[in-house]
Amino acid sequence: MEAINIETTDKEVLIRLDKSDMSTEALVRIIKRLQVEFLAQKAGFTGSLLDIAEEIDTTWWRENGEDFLKNVKK
C-alpha cells in the first residue's frame, strides 16, 4: 500500500493512509484542517477571506509566539 491512496466515487472521496507512515498527532492535524476547509466552503467563505485569516494568524504568531511559548519545554 502507498502511504496515501485516494479514490473517488460518484459521491465520495476515499482517503486511505498507511498508519505506519503517520503519527496519530499528524493525522488529527490533517483531519482538523479538512474540517475547517469543509466548514469554510459550506459557509461560503471566499479564498480571500481565508487568506486574511491566515495572514492574521501568521502575524499574531510572529508578534506573540515567543511570549506565548516561553514556558514550554523543548
Question: Do 18 and 49 have their domain in common?
Answer: no
Predicted confidence (pLDDT) per residue in 29-38, tens digit:
888 888 888 8
Whether residue 28 is found in the same domain as residue 48: no
Alpha-carbon span 43 to 53, nearest angstrom: 15
Query: Residue 67: in which H helix or E strand, if any?
Result: helix 47-68
- Tell me the pLDDT band of 8, cut-offs 50, 70 and 90: very high
Is the whole-model pTM more than 0.75? no
Is residue 34 located within the same domain as residue 10? yes
Amino acid letter for position 10 = D
The number of domains in the chain is: 2
